[in-house]
Amino acid sequence: MQSLNSPIPSSTERVLDQESRLWWERLHATGPTRRRAIEDLHERLRIEASFHIRQRVRDLSSFPRSDIDDLAVQAADDALVVLLRKLEQYRGDSLFLTWARRFAALEAPVSIRRRLGRDRVGISRDPDSAFLVADPAQSTHGLVETQELLETVSEAMVDELTTRQRTVLTAIAINGVTTDTLADDLHTTPGAIYKSLHDARVKLRLHLV
């Protein structure tokens, strides 16, 4: 990986504004510098996703407002993974954060559809294999790319997460179970469920990054 002071690679050489260049250098740094950059970027993506989610559900009176913050985190998680995979494609044609926010804007409606049960990744009750079901509506190329990513996520779930974290993540993120319902099923509190969910996402995000 590049050091913080390394120049932008020739393949992406553009006249960048100071802020965009700083983002690029921080995300290509190592150690704490890169981790802080990823954390900062995730927060920007969460704020952007929250805005789009609120805009889209404002006319849905039955949509639980208590889910918006959680969905924004989910959308930011997914947007960050995609963005980091495509980071080398950034050419400086727009400000870096303008480019980055597009990923959050795209993931926001996906998180809503998943919450409503209209776009689930899979239906398996087994937390170790739930991510292995691809969306049949995708192209062949998309299916291969999705399958590779889902296999990576599935391996990370087994290697990185506890059994409880896998159960919580699968129930909420895949099967659309609400936090309150899952808390009742597992005889615990919504706060404890959210903590398990948050810890699971952090572990997966760090593993994928």
- Share above pLDDT 90 across residues of the chain, in percent, rounded to a whole number: 20
Q: Give every residue of the chain whose pLDDT is below 70, as ranges.
A: 1-14, 117-158, 174, 207-209
Please check whether residues 110 and 160 belong to one and the same domain. Answer: no
For the chain, the domain total comes to: 2
Please check whether residues 115 and 129 belong to one and the same domain. Answer: no
**CATH number, position 83:** 1.10.1740
Please check whether residues 108 and 152 belong to one and the same domain. Answer: no
What is the pLDDT at residue 122?
A: 39
Please check whether residues 8 and 97 belong to one and the same domain. Answer: yes
Task: Dump pLDDT digits (tens) for 80-128.
Answer: 888 988 898 898 888 999 999 999 998 888 888 777 764 444 333 333 3
The domain in which residue 42 lies consists of 1-119
pTM flag (> 0.85): no
What is the pLDDT at residue 101?
A: 92
Please check whether residues 68 and 162 belong to one and the same domain. Answer: no
Tokens 């802020």 correspond to: 19
What is the pLDDT at residue 2?
A: 43
What is the pLDDT at residue 58?
A: 81
- Judge residue 57's burial from the number of C-beta atoms within 10 Å of its C-beta, 0-12 exposed, 13-18 middle, 19 or more buried: buried
Please check whether residues 77 and 127 belong to one and the same domain. Answer: no
What is the pLDDT at residue 26?
A: 93
